Structure 1
Amino acid sequence: MRPVRVVVVDDQDLVRVGFVALLSATAGVEVVGEARQGEEAVRLARTSRPQVVLMDVRMPVLNGIEATRRITGDPECAGCHVIMLTTFGLDDYVFGALRAGAVGFLLKDTPPEDLIRAVRTVAAGDSLLSPSITRRLIEAFAATPPPPTLDQPATVLPAREADVLVLVGRGLSNAEIARSLHIGPATVKTYISRLFSNVGATTRVHPVIHAYETGLLGSGPAGRSRLSGRSERG
């Protein structure tokens, strides 16, 4: 199997060099570049074609959020997945990064084995957001004022896809969703794939944002009523 190609971006030399050393010593992982700021990261993503970019949020010249937006929106960088690095956990920078197309985030003090697992998980095409993180995202979204997009028409989803969307937003894993809806795990994957297509999502968090902004989650009436007190078999 080909090694996972990784670019590490951080303006703190000690952090960046440490990550590079760790990943370079890991079997099945190849560090193909490192950068100190966002513009360098965008250039590296275009020329080195990494599968994973570890991207610091706060950097000079071009911050990690804007660099992520440019990478995920560039056809030349197709197949490149961005993991945000942050010291502060869930903050406004992280939300901005997820909206920009990042597949998840890691704290800079993440244990080495978790960092390596995260790189391999993302390279395989899976989201890095765990159910507990998804729950915290929803709680944070619910605590903020409703966004302007609430006044725009929402995407109309089939009933079962809406059910799956709500459960994704509640932080359930695919296995937990399958048990809750009395359907098979493969069926859950099919619904999630359709869901991504219907709401124009590229990561697991995007349907969650969509659900919050359209009232399926949070304090809206749809969020309060959907799936409440019913068990439907697929």
Structure 2
Amino acid sequence: MAARIGILEDDEALRAYVEAVVAGAEGMTLAFSAGCLADARQAIVGNPVDLCLVDLKLPDGSGLDFVTDVKGASAAKCLIFTVLGDRSSVLLALKSGADGYLLKDTPADLLRTNIDRTLRGETPISPQAATFLLEMWRGAEPTTLPGRLDDALTVREVDVLKLFSRGMSYRETAELLGISAHTIGDHVKSIYRKLSVHSRTEAIFEARQIGLISPLD
């Protein structure tokens, strides 16, 4: 029997992309696809699922609230699929019961593989997110920016800033990093929020001021 997959993602284009990934995977079928927390909660009523792909930042709440709902009502797996790769988000998601943590730049074939792994009881985690767990296991101090823990820029966000500082466009940056322009946009929104800036120029300046990128970048 095909595994029933639910999708909770507020971006229409990305949601359509994930739907296509599920549709093209052998042994999977789409149970529901929702763009907000309220719609997802309604979708799972009387509609059994085996795994839900869940974004964290939603227009009407946190994806972790949905994880709690699903875990409290069924044995379904919840695989986080988000642009947020900071330490705080990773640890909070896993403590909330998530069965895995993937970043949105995960290629389609790897996304399918990790859905299968999660269904088998494994806990796939993107390498960047896994770094924080390794730090905890080693008892090392996490590498973050000064200030609040959830304001730390991710490795990928720093990569984006470095390429921007070299004059690269959104499209060029996406091609060099091997991810979509949409994902670049998500990274930029996160960078602006964390650095409290409103433009690429301001972001690059702030990143250089706090040592994230060198003056030569």
Same fold per superposition (TM over 0.5)? yes
Paired residues for 1:70-149 under 5 Å: 70-74=69-73, 78-129=74-125, 134-139=130-135, 142-143=140-141
Partners of 2:3 and 2:28 within 8 A in 1: yes
Q: Residue 110 of structure 1: CA displacement?
A: 0.6
Q: Secondary structure at the match of 2:10?
A: coil
Listed as ranges, the gaps of 5+ residues in structure 1 are 145-234
Give the aligned partner of residue 208 of structure 2. none
Q: Residue 91 of structure 1: CA displacement?
A: 3.2
Mean Cα deviation higher: 125-134 or 2-11 = 125-134
Q: Residue 35 of structure 1: CA displacement?
A: 0.6
Partners of 1:39 and 1:67 within 8 A in 2: no
Q: Residue 43 of structure 1: CA displacement?
A: 2.9
**Alpha-carbon distance in structure 1 between the residues aligned to 2:32 and 2:109:** 21
Partners of 1:84 and 1:102 within 8 A in 2: yes
Q: Could you tell me the TM-score, scaled by structure 2's length?
A: 0.58
Post-superposition CA distance 1:145-195 (Å, at most 9, x none): xxxxxxxxxxxxxxxxxxxxxxxxxxxxxxxxxxxxxxxxxxxxxxxxxxx
Partners of 2:102 and 2:126 within 8 A in 1: no
Q: Secondary structure at the match of 2:58?
A: coil
Give the aligned partner of residue 23 of structure 1. 22
Determine what percentage of the aligned residue pairs are the same residue.
24
Q: Could you tell me the TM-score, scaled by structure 1's length?
A: 0.54
Q: Residue 104 of structure 1: CA displacement?
A: 1.0
Q: Residue 29 of structure 1: CA displacement?
A: 0.8
Listed as ranges, the gaps of 5+ residues in structure 2 are 143-217
Partners of 1:32 and 1:50 within 8 A in 2: yes
Q: Residue 22 of structure 1: CA displacement?
A: 1.8
**Alpha-carbon distance in structure 2 between the residues aligned to 1:94 and 1:130:** 10
Counterpart amino acid of 2:135? Answer: E
Q: Residue 103 of structure 1: CA displacement?
A: 0.7
Q: Residue 131 of structure 1: CA displacement?
A: 8.4
Alpha-carbon distance change, 61 to 132 in structure 1, aligned in 2, over 3 angstroms: closer
Paired residues for 1:1-234 under 5 Å: 2-74=1-73, 78-129=74-125, 134-139=130-135, 142-143=140-141
**Alpha-carbon distance in structure 2 between the residues aligned to 1:118 and 1:51:** 14
Q: How many residues align?
A: 140
Mean Cα deviation higher: 107-116 or 60-69 = 60-69
Partners of 2:7 and 2:52 within 8 A in 1: yes
Partners of 1:84 and 1:94 within 8 A in 2: no
